[in-house]
Chain A
Amino acid sequence: MSNKEAGTGAKALLTFTRILCYIFLVLLTVLCLFSFYILIINSTRANSEIQKGFSILPGKFFLMNLNGLLADANIPILRALGNSLFISALTAVFTTYFSAMTAFGLHIYNFKFKKFAFSFILLVMMVPTQVSTLGFIQLITKMGLMNTFYPLIIPSIAAPIVFFFMFQYLASVLPQEIVEAARVDGSNEFNTFNTIVLPIMKPALAVQAIFSFVTSWNNYFVPALIINSKNNKTIPILIAQLRSADYMKFDLGKVYIMICVAIIPLLIVYIFLSKFIIRGVTLGSVKG
């Protein structure tokens, strides 16, 4: 009897704990989504409505606001979207391809400086790029590449963190024998990498491509120092410009819709790929 009572008691306690957990989780969810909810609501309302007060329901001015933004000659939003997309896509391709290549080189071959090369990459992995930005800007100026996209794309070939992820992945999926078998078949090493190893690495490539795309899309520090012409601006630079403009004179509908443009495309991609992305975080534990 007493045993049974203790059993039901424990069960009640467990249910109670569970309810507390759910309440807490729902609160966190609200906290996470609250700002985005207001963003989406206000992006559908006219400036006058927004200034009158807050509403829980969306308005009917979404397209009006969007058209207003597109028509604004001071905010080259489509151009910036194109620039951001171009830079991020190329960065994603470069980072993943060359990181996989470096990982392959260090995983398969034995050469004199192998250990040194590996340790070196691990050592510099956490050093932030900001500390060498000064020298970087001077170099880019000397090369005559200021206000171009090259300095935002080419350096992504050397991405230590992505390399480390690729290396770990490769070590778990690629036995030496596959490469040796390809040799017996007369495959050239570079060819082996491109036709046999890369397809094996597809999951890792996809995850890292997404992460490097997002990182590049959101990048603000270096682009803001490199880009200075209106036509070359990326989305984060436009956002900063919006912030430094005289805010009070702005059409608030336009402000909200512009933040939407910066955030929503990525959010939609995330909703579709979230499972995949979250698994990627776990795999590449050296993020953050």
Chain B
Amino acid sequence: MGQMTTKSPKRKSVSYSKWGYFFIAPFFIIFTIFQFIPLISTFYNSFFQNYRVGLQQIGPKFVGFANYIAIFSNADVPTYALNTMIVWVLGFIPQILIALLLAVWFTSFRLKLKGQVFFKTVIYMPNLIMAAAFSMLFFTLFSDAGPVNMIMQSLHIVNTPYRFLTMTGATRGLIATMNFLMWFGNTTILLMAGIMGIDPNLFEAAQIDGAKSHQMFFRVTLPLLLPILVYVVITAMIGGIQMFDVPQILTNGGGTPNNTTMTLIMYLNKHLASKNFGMAGAVSVLIFFATAILSIIVYRMLVTNYKQFSRQKPGKSNIKKVKV
């Protein structure tokens, strides 16, 4: 692409390649200062005992892997990792299934559903809502004397208030419901773009061959949509590991009842807020590795995608269809 500018002694032109560094410098300087160095120092901190008891500062003192052993030996991290996973799965299963269903419906030439713009607008909306406020809203709605209990009592579904937030299943269910509501619209739109990127001739050919709609879905749509599905699942997992705002606000940071809704990042936040930097470091490093493994999968998909894309002629609008 830019070879002309770098290797053209005849044209007596200046080399512009140095400008590349100028343009990318702000990004890399800021990234290094505010993300890369902090990441290294987080790793470093994880090997030190460093916390406060009241006014007394303990450490920093090098303790090797003691922090890691500590977070595993009292089962904190395994429990909270499991909580995070359970709540994520509870929300993600309906999210992906309904998103897939809606994406197929919205793109179906046979159904030709009307009012799509309206439905898409509505289902995407919760994605933009402040998670903290949404969670506060759910807390108010589902509190013992809240509107949901009032409605249930007036319909005689229950006689005494159902105490949602004292029950593990109900609390996890509420968090999962919020996550589901916040993300299924987004997933629907991504999957729709994926389906619309599939060559329409394939659907036509299948139709001519007499394929029924479920055959069309399982034999044509699903296999061709697989890369995007994998991408959606992996990025949703990375998002799931970061689950914080919703359970934090709903349970006031307590992970109630009895720590069953405490997520990994809530645990990290607890240590950060109480300035137990050693433990916070160890938790951070673990979360880093969990997300790093998933990130590498996304990276490989993006790179393959990028290579395919750069082989295409520039200037064509097919970039818009190129999804991971």
Q: Name A's B-contacting residues (CB within 8 A).
A: 14, 17-18, 21-22, 25, 28-29, 31-33, 35-36, 38-39, 42, 51, 53-54, 98-99, 101-102, 104-106, 108-111, 114, 117, 119, 121-139, 151, 154-155, 157-158, 163-164, 168-169, 171-172, 175-176, 180, 183, 189-190, 193, 214, 217-218, 220-221, 224-225, 235-236, 239-240, 242-244, 247, 252, 255-256, 259, 262-263, 266-267, 270-271, 274-275, 277-278, 281-283, 285-288
Contacts and interface: CB of A to CB of B under 8 A. Distances in A.
Contacts of A274: 121, 124-125
Most central of A33, A255, A286 by chain B CB within 10 Å: A286
B74 interface: no
Contacts of B265: 130, 221
Contacts of A129: 35
B324 A286 contact: yes
Contacts of A99: 27
Given A122-B302, A127-B292, A259 B37 contact: no
Contacts of B285: 131
Nearest to A239: B132
Nearest to A252: B140
B268 A130 contact: yes
Interface of B: 1-6, 16-24, 26-28, 30-31, 33-42, 45, 98, 102, 105, 110-111, 113, 115, 117, 119-126, 128-134, 136-141, 143, 145, 147, 150-151, 154, 181, 183, 185-187, 189-190, 192-193, 228, 231-232, 235-236, 238-239, 241-242, 244-245, 248-249, 252-253, 265, 268-269, 272-273, 277, 280-281, 284-285, 287-288, 291-292, 294-296, 298-299, 302-303, 306, 309-310, 314-317, 319-320, 322-324
B136 A278 contact: no
B140 A286 contact: no
B232 to A, nearest CB: 7
A95 B286 CA distance: 29
A138 B38 contact: yes
A136 B38 contact: yes
A263 B129 contact: yes
A133 B288 CA distance: 11
Contact of B130 (A131, A154, A217, A242): A217
16 contacts: A29-B123, A35-B138, A54-B154, A98-B27, A109-B23, A110-B17, A123-B295, A124-B295, A132-B36, A133-B38, A134-B41, A155-B30, A180-B5, A190-B19, A243-B249, A271-B121
Contacts of B245: 218, 220-221, 236
B136 A239 contact: yes
Given A35-B138, A132-B39, A236-B130, A278 B45 contact: no
Nearest to B137: A259
Contacts of A176: 1-2
Given A105-B23, A105-B24, A218-B130, 12 more contacts: A98-B30, A110-B5, A128-B242, A128-B291, A131-B284, A136-B38, A240-B132, A243-B136, A247-B143, A255-B140, A270-B125, A274-B125
B124 A278 contact: yes
Contacts of B134: 35, 263
A80 to B, nearest CB: 12
A192 B260 CA distance: 56
A282 B195 CA distance: 12
A194 to B, nearest CB: 11
B17 A109 contact: yes
Contacts of B132: 218, 220, 236, 239-240, 262
A281 B190 contact: yes
A109 to B, nearest CB: 3
Contacts of A154: 30, 34
B141 A38 contact: yes
Contact of B298 (A32, A53, A126, A138): A126
B252 to A, nearest CB: 5
B107 to A, nearest CB: 12
Contacts of B129: 218, 263, 266-267
B20 A139 contact: no
A38 B138 CA distance: 10
Contacts of A122: 299, 302-303, 306
Contact of A283 (B130, B272, B295, B320): B320
Contacts of B299: 122-123, 125-126
A117 B280 CA distance: 30
Given A110-B1, A221-B244, A282-B192, A132 B320 contact: no
Given A134-B272, A259-B137, A281-B189, A240 B249 contact: yes
Contacts of A287: 186
Contact of A263 (B133, B139, B145, B314): B133
A169 B272 CA distance: 38
A32 B186 CA distance: 13
A131 B249 CA distance: 20
A173 B311 CA distance: 16
B261 to A, nearest CB: 14
Minimum-distance CB pairs A-B, first 10: A105-B23, A135-B38, A109-B20, A172-B319, A135-B41, A158-B31, A262-B133, A126-B295, A110-B2, A155-B34
